[in-house]
Amino acid sequence: MTASPIRVVIVDDQPLFASGMQMLIEAQPDLECVGIAANGEESLALVERARPDIVLMDLRMPVLNGIEATRRILDGRGTAETPRVIVLTTIQKDEAVYSALRVGASAFLTKDATPDDVLATIRATHRGQSTVTDAAAVGLIRQFGSEDQRHDSLHERLSAREREVMLAVADGCTNSQIATRAHLSEATVKTHVRAVLSKLDLRSRVHIVIYVYENGLIPTQTTSVRRGL
C-alpha cells in the first residue's frame, strides 16, 4: 500500500516565496501542500483545519510572529496530531531561530537553502531524523542559550548507554559518527536516540541539545562516545 503523502502547510507573508515553495512541494510525489497562511494568526486556524504533518514557519511576519505562532501550535505537543515545525529565516545566526527552537520547532532553514536541502529537511524532520541544519542549531544553542535555566530530573531515567548517546547528540555527533565511535550498529544508535526522546518527552535531536545545555549537563571533557567508549 502506498504511504500517504507528507502534508505541509506554508506560513509566510511574502506571496512570491510562498508560491515558489508550494510549487516545489507539489512537484514531489510524497509531499502535499495543504494550505498557505500569510501570518502567524492565520496559521493557527489553518493548522487546526488542515492537520498538517509539517509546518514551514516564517519567523518575521505581521499580526503574529513565527515564534509565538510556533509556541501556540505546539502547546498540545506529544499528541499524534501535533505537527513538526520547521522555521524559515533569512539569517542563520539569529537569536530568533534559537527562540523558535526553544519553544518547540524541530529544525530551521534559511531562505536561500537549495531545493534539495528544503526537501531533505522536510522528509528528515517528518521521520524524526537528523537534518542538514542540526550542526548549525547546536552552534545557535551554544551561542544564545544559558546553562542551568531549568533543573529537570528526567535524564535520571536514562541508562548509562542512553546518557552517553544523549551527550554525543548534544556534542553534534550524527548517528553514523556515534555508531563508529561506540562500536554499535547505526540501528542500535537510532534505538537509543528514540529512547532518549521518549524518556525526556522531546520531539527532535535539537531538543536533546537544548535539554542538555539548559540542565547544565555539558561535560567538562569530550564525551565518552567521542573517545570511542
Distance, CA of 160 to chain centre: 25
**Residue 38 pLDDT:** 95
What per-residue confidence (pLDDT) applies to 222? 43
Q: What pLDDT score does 91 carry?
A: 75
Burial class of residue 20 in the structure, from the number of CB atoms within 10 Å of its CB (0-12 exposed, 13-18 middle, 19+ buried): middle
**Phi–psi pair at 196, nearest 5 degrees:** -65, -45
Residue extent(s) of CATH 1.10.10.10 domains in the chain = 154-214
Q: How far out from the chain centre does Cα 209 lie? A: 11
Q: In the prediction, which pLDDT does 24 show?
A: 97
29: Cβ contacts below 8 Å, ≥ 6 apart: 5
- 213, amino acid identity: Y
Domain with CATH 3.40.50.2300 in the chain: 6-140
What pLDDT shows up at residue 229?
37
63: left (phi over 0), alpha (psi -120 to 50) or beta: left
pLDDT score, position 153? 72
Evaluate whether the domain defined by 154-214 bears CATH number 2.40.160.20. no
- Residues of the chain whose pLDDT is less than 50? 220-229
Q: Which three cell numbers stand for residue 211?
A: 535539554
* pLDDT of res. 120: 95
Contact 204, 107 (CB under 8 A): yes
CB count in 10 Å sphere of residue 103: 19
User: Nearest to residue 211, comparing CAs of 161, 157, 175, 132?
Assistant: 157
Cα–Cα distance measured from residue 4 to residue 115, given in angstroms and rounded to the nearest whole number: 22
CATH of domain 6-140: 3.40.50.2300
| The predicted structure's pLDDT at residue 90 | 86
Which three cell numbers, joined as nine digits, stand for 1? 500500500
